[in-house]
A and B are shown apart, each in its own frame.
Chain A
Amino acid sequence: DTAVSQTPKYLVTQMGNDKSIKCEQNLGHDTMYWYKQDSKKFLKIMFSYNNKELIINETVPNRFSPKSPDKAHLNLHINSLELGDSAVYFCASSHAGETGSFGYTFGSGTRLTVV
């Protein structure tokens, strides 16, 4: 019973292609996130959605477009893939209280390799 599930786990594709990564959470959390982890293990936040609404959009190229059909799903579509997009992408979810989140639950990641 995976709490935050991402698909696919691995994705190898050629430069210029368009690809999507899907994320689903069954925790009833109201906020979902996409993070990118580079080869140096630095985790960078990309997007955040709260109840299907975009609340955080960091400096990410327009080729990246998140979509949240409902609060349990947050998908990431990437157009015109570039070599520099190769990384591990993590989806996460959380429920926020008055004093911040109660902790994030992460998916197991999607390793994207652009060749």
Chain B
Amino acid sequence: SQQGEEDPQALSIQEGENATMNCSYKTSINNLQWYRQNSGRGLVHLILIRSNEREKHSGRLRVTLDTSKKSSSLLITASRAADTASYFCAPDNTDKLIFGTGTRLQVFP
């Protein structure tokens, strides 16, 4: 099993700007998942990208996956104050997801 390593640890932007978060991992994967955690709440599944996919979109979210570099990125376009949260990536290759410490995103109005 492996965990994803998110980068940066923290990110502050203004509303309307785009936010990009990166994830690196070490071994082969079946898929990679991104989650959001609002303060005091549980994690919410955002998007899953399979190992044979390179890019996936969901609303204002865009996820890319580069299996040769063992990395993924999450782009949130036209950010809103409500996007303020921690974002976690989770490489999936076994029977459990192991999470890193996440990227804390702060979006200022």
Contact = CB atoms under 8 A, between A and B. Distances in A.
Contact of B97 (A4, A50, A104, A109): A104
B30 A90 contact: no
A45 interface: yes
Interface residues of A, number: 26
B56 interface: no
Interface residues of chain A: helix, strand, loop or mixed (majority): strand
Contacts, number: 60
A94 to B, nearest CB: 8
Interface of A: 4, 33, 35, 40-43, 45, 48, 50, 55-56, 90, 92, 96, 99-109
B98 interface: yes
Contacts of B44: 106
A108 B86 contact: no
